[in-house]
Amino acid sequence: MNNIVAIVGRPNVGKSTFFNRLIQRREAIVDSVSGVTRDRNYGKSEWNGKEFSVIDTGGYIKGSDDIFEAEIRKQVELAIDEADVIVFVVDVEEGITPMDEEVAKLLRKITKPVLLAVNKVDNAMREKDAYEFYNLGLGEYFTIAGMNGSGTGELLDKLVEILPEVPSNEEEETLPRFCVVGRPNAGKSSFINALIGEDRYIVTDIAGTTRDAIDTRYTRFGFDFNLVDTAGIRRKAKVKEDLEFYSVMRSVRAIEHSDVCILMIDATRGFESQDQNIFWLAEKNRKGIVILVNKWDLIEKDTMSARDFEKKIRKEIEPFTDVPILFVSALTKQRLLKALEETVNVYENRKQRIATSKFNEHMLTIIENFPPPAIKGKYIKIKYCMQLPTPTPQFVFFANLPQYVKEPYKRFLENKIRENWNFEGVPIDIYIREK
C-alpha cells in the first residue's frame, strides 16, 4: 500500500506542471497502458526505489475567483486529513499572497511533514527572491522550476526520506480483499450492514458519517474475504459540500490495497462524473471491478429499465466495458449475495493463468486470419505470444515490427482474449515486443 503525497497551493502556481513531472518520471519507466487516462489528478510516482501516490488538488477546483478561497481551504484541510506528506507550492514571481498565508496558517498547525516548494526559480536573481518565503513560518524551502525540472531532485530526495514506513500485514495478505467504493451516500455502509447483519456502521442520511476505512472479515455462505469499507470518508464538520476530490482521495488508499473494487452507484442519481473518476482510478490500478447500482427499489420502472441504465453506464466506461453491472438494494437485500458471487468470480478471473501452448494455438490462428494492417508496405508478423507471470493479467505478443502495431489492433487482440477466456471485470494489458 502506497503513501499518499498531496500537492496543495493556490491556482496558477504550477502545481499541475510539478505533478506531471512527478508522474511522467514514472510513466517513462512503465509501458504506456492501453485505454485513455480520464482523470489527470492522480498518479503514481517513484523515486530512489520508493513508490508513492500523488494527488494534485488543483485540478478539482471549479468556479469563479470568489469561490476559490473557500474551495482551496477545503482542499488543504482534506489533504491534511488524508495525505502522509504535503507539498505546498508557491510562486516566486508573485511572492507571498494573502492566500498563501492562509494555507500556511493551516499547515503550521499540523504534525504531518510539509515541504515548501518555491516554484519558477530558474535563475540566480529569483533564487534571492525566494528568501521571503521563510516568512511563511514553515522552515526550510526548496527552489524548483517545474517547467524544466531543476531542483525537483533535492525535493524528492527529502520527500522519500520523510515518507512514513508502510506496515505490511502478512497474515491478511492471503485473503482476498474487496473494497466498497463510491460517492458519499451511495449506500456503501447500508450494503455492508446488510451483508454482516449487524449495524457495525451508523447509517444516517448525512453524507460521510462513517469514520474510517474499516476492514471486516466476512465468512458466511461459504465466502471468506476481507471487506474494506471506504464509506470511511472521515468528514470534517467544516467540509460541507459533496466534494468530488474528497471521495476520490478517500478511495485511493482502499483501491490500491484491494484486489476487487465494488463500486456502488446511487440509482436515483445515475452514473456521475465522480463515479467515473473512481471507476478509472480502479482501472488505472489494474483492480477487478464490479458495479452495483444501489437503491434500485426506488426507481420508477416504467421510466428507466435496467437495460437502458446498464447501456448508459457501459457507454461511459468505454473501452473497458467487460464489467459486471448488477442492480441491487441494500435496503431490501435484493441480489446482495449475487453481488458477492460476482465479486468472487472477478477475483478468480484476475488470478487465472493460461497455458502458453493453449494461448499460442488459439491466438496465432486468429492473428493469421486477421493480421495487423501493413504499414508503408511493411508486413507485421506475430509468431509467438504468452501470458506474463504478473499479479494481474498481462499478455505479450512478439512481432518483427512492434512499433507498427497500433492501439486498435491491440484492442482487437484484447477482445479476442476476452471472447475465449473469462476476464470479466478485470483490466488486461497487452504488450507488443520485438521477438
- How much is the pLDDT for 313? 92
Q: Residue 349 annotated as binding?
A: no
Q: Residue 97 annotated as binding?
A: no
Q: Residue 294 annotated as binding?
A: yes
Tens of pLDDT, residue by residue over 149-200, are 788 889 999 999 988 876 555 444 578 889 988 887 788 878 887 887 655 4
Give CA separation, 146 vs 13, 20, 249, in Å: 10, 9, 23
Q: Residue 14 annotated as binding?
A: yes
- How much is the pLDDT for 172? 46
Helix 273-284 vs helix 244-256: angle between axes, to the nearest 10 degrees? 20
Q: Residue 12 annotated as binding?
A: yes
User: For residue 118, which phi and psi values (nearest 5 degrees)?
Assistant: -90, 110
Q: Residue 184 annotated as binding?
A: yes
Q: Residue 187 annotated as binding?
A: yes
Q: Residue 188 annotated as binding?
A: yes
User: For residue 223, which phi and psi values (nearest 5 degrees)?
Assistant: -95, 155
- How much is the pLDDT for 361? 92
**Contact predicate 150/142, CB 8 Å:** no
Q: Residue 10 annotated as binding?
A: yes
Q: Residue 297 annotated as binding?
A: yes
Domain extents for the chain?
A: 3-162, 177-351, 356-434
Q: Residue 220 annotated as binding?
A: no
- CATH number of the domain at 3-162, out of 3.40.50.300, 3.40.50.1860, 3.40.190.150, 3.30.70.100? 3.40.50.300
Q: Residue 259 annotated as binding?
A: no
- How much is the pLDDT for 239? 44
Q: Residue 400 annotated as binding?
A: no
Q: Residue 15 annotated as binding?
A: yes
Q: Residue 208 annotated as binding?
A: no
Tens of pLDDT, residue by residue over 397-421, are 999 988 888 899 999 999 999 999 9
Can you tell me which residue has the cell 457501459?
314
- How much is the pLDDT for 204? 41
Q: Residue 232 annotated as binding?
A: yes
Give CA separation, 215 vs 230, 333, 393, 396, in Å: 9, 21, 26, 36
The Cα–Cα gap between 262 and 265 comes to 10
- How much is the pLDDT for 303? 62
What residues are paired with 394 via a beta bridge? 429
- How much is the pLDDT for 215? 67
**Contact predicate 434/398, CB 8 Å:** yes
Domain 3-162 and domain 177-351 have a common topology: yes
Q: Residue 157 annotated as binding?
A: no
Compute the chain's Rg from CA coordinates.
24
| Domain covering 356-434 assigned CATH 3.30.1300.10 in the classification | no
Q: Residue 120 annotated as binding?
A: yes
Q: Residue 233 annotated as binding?
A: yes
The Cα–Cα gap between 98 and 348 comes to 54
- How much is the pLDDT for 61? 53
Ranges of residues in the chain whose predicted pLDDT is under 50: 25-40, 64, 170-172, 200-212, 232-242
Fold of 177-351: Rossmann fold (3.40.50)
Q: Residue 119 annotated as binding?
A: yes
- How much is the pLDDT for 202? 42
Segment 23-28 long-range contacts (CB within 8 Å, at least 24 positions apart): 23/54
